[in-house]
Amino acid sequence: MTKSMEIKPSLRWIIAVLAIAAAAMSLWLTIEKWSGRINTLAGCGTGSGCANVLGSKWSVVFGVIPVSVFSFFLYLAVLVSLWVRGENVRWCRMLVAWMFLAAAVWFTGLQLFVLDAICPYCMTMHGLGVALGLFILCAEHKRGQMVLRSLSSLTIAVAMVAALAVVQHFGPEPPTHRVDDLSGLATSESNDVHALGVGRVVSFLEGEKSYRVEELPHLGDVDASYVIVKYFDYTCEACRDMHDHLGEIMIKHPGKLAVIVLPVPLNRKCNPSMPPGVKGHANACELAALALRVWRADPASFADFHPWLFEYHDQPIQVAEAMAYSLVGEDKMSAVDESWVTAQLRQSVEDYKIFAKHTPVMPKILIKESLMIQGKTKDLKAFELILEKHLGIKESGAAR
């Protein structure tokens, strides 16, 4: 038999159904990836294994093209080949089958041993690919003349997947941040506790969102030339990196920049807007509340406690509490109005819920008017360039 139409009808339809399902999954993941909505998928929120996998350089080719684009066209090619005759078509179909199997082994190994994270959507797609590949090979085996075709197609398939791995390894890292214009974004209509109190007020989002600098936890001089607002989580790695970047920038430009720092726990215990399945943020709620208590009790001590929490966030909560009390003192800590802490935390979580409509990635930094940096810049220089472009903060000695 030499005609591809002579594949057993039952096998042909099984292969067709699997190819359609896999192509649909690939197309969906591609759309979600390009639209920036990956973090909104169930179990794929900020900090989850899913987000770590789909946000890594191994999820794209040349830093921009999702791997799912290539798999989508391969699945379509298999589907079309079922109704095309020819020995070359049979050989190509076997080549693609081996590619599915090799790719599944490669990307599963990546998740388990390199990224140490699992993406359930990716694994579902690989599962479909494995099933599809096995059914194709089974169909060809039943038609005989399998060995030579298998050896040649298997060798080339492994080489192609290896080439993909090399391209990804030496390719650029995908963008880890974006600068969004949030103009027109609807804010909470309830009384905004961030604007209560006395002293300097800074406003963003066309005046819809205001902050009392002196009343809220902040770093830097309250009268600094520029005030930005950072929403973050002490247990978020990207937030820690941006904390370090901000510290270096403030040292380079004394008196230029003040940062209002508002903790938003990435934990459903106190942040119901987080997608189910997000892991790795133990004690996030407790650390956020503790930081706010320290600020309220003794703003001077907050400057020391804030970086300490970033460095030792993974210690038992009792360790953080002991540190807080040692810095501030039991009398001051006990005198803090817990309702203020609760209200501030609730407001920040509500803000996050609104800002996350664009993307849930953290941290989120309002820098000017309606502009927000979402996510971590790839390095300090990239962050400095953003601030130079939008705020005019330049290197020392440069004209403003």
Rounded CA separation 392/395 (Å): 10
Half-sphere exposure in the Cβ direction for 302 (13 Å, CA): 25
Residue 348 region by backbone torsions, left for phi larger than 0, else alpha for psi between -120 and 50, else beta: alpha
Q: How far apart are the first and last CA of the chain?
A: 77
Which pLDDT band holds residue 398 (cuts at 50, 70, 90)?
A: very low
Q: Which of 60, 61, 68 is nearest to 122 (CA)?
A: 68
Contact, 282 vs 235, CB < 8 A? yes
Which pLDDT band holds residue 395 (cuts at 50, 70, 90)?
A: low
In the chain, what are the domains?
A: 4-170 (1.20.1440.130), 177-391 (3.40.30.10)
Burial of 179 (0-12, 13-18, 19+ CB in 10 A): middle
- For 93-126, the pLDDT digits (tens) are 999 999 999 999 999 999 998 888 788 888 999 9
CA 394 to chain centre: 29
Looking at residues 76-87, what average pLDDT do you find?
A: 90
> pTM of the prediction?
0.71
Contact, 234 vs 273, CB < 8 A? no
- For 364-375, the pLDDT digits (tens) are 999 999 999 998
- For 158-184, the pLDDT digits (tens) are 999 999 999 988 887 777 788 999 988
Compute the 3-state secondary structure of the chain and give helix, strand, coil in percent, each to the nearest 5: 55, 10, 35
Contact, 100 vs 130, CB < 8 A? yes
Name residue 371's beta-bridge partners.
Answer: 181, 368
